[in-house]
Chain A
Amino acid sequence: QEQLVESGGGVVQPGRSLRLSCVASGFSFSNYAMHWVRQAPGKGLEWVAVISYDGSNKNYGDSVKGRFTISRDNSRNTLYLEMNSLRTEETALYFCARARGSTWYEWPVYWGQGTLVTVSS
């Protein structure tokens, strides 16, 4: 059964960094592109980043470009999101999601349960 488990969330001060992880199981992780999507409390979804199946292509939402880095380790079936210079407005539940296919322009299909990031002093 397909499963995505995010971790690494917590409370962090503004301007600091945090790295999120997402461990995949139940499907061939190395064959699929992967997304990060976040949801602020009581708000809608905001797409954050996507990475192609082999990590060769990455794309980011405008609000995180230059500060966040998406990466993956296919040998560990793990997706990462390195977040730098965090802002209070980035307090949100961060979801990882498997894409429909291997390329970075494929949409999110299956989602994990999310990990909560709270940016507060």
Chain B
Amino acid sequence: QAQLVQSGAEVKKPGASVKVSCKASGYSFSSYGITWVRQAPGQGLEWMGWISGYNGNTNSAQKLQGRVTMTTDTTTTTVYMALRSLRSDDTAVYYCARWAVDRDALDIWGQGTMVTVSS
């Protein structure tokens, strides 16, 4: 069955960068996009951006533009999200989710990756 498996928890210092991976399996990778969503402790969901599994086109949230980079490796069906110049308010659980265009919705979610930014 389709699933997304993310990399493990990270602890970073302010100003550093983090790269989270999301391994897709059980479906045609090029037929779907991947969206990144984050959730700060005790807060709601925040849409970060998406990347096409077909051609690698991306679109990111305006507030994160310049700090976030999303890439794909089609040979390993893995998507990566890199966030640089980390601040304490970047502390959150980061989720990848499959974007089903025919549903206009995120139908499969990864297990989440906790990123803690602390000095």
| A and B part of one assembly | no
Hey, which bits of chain B sit against chain A, CB under 8 A? none
Hey, which bits of chain A sit against chain B, CB under 8 A? none
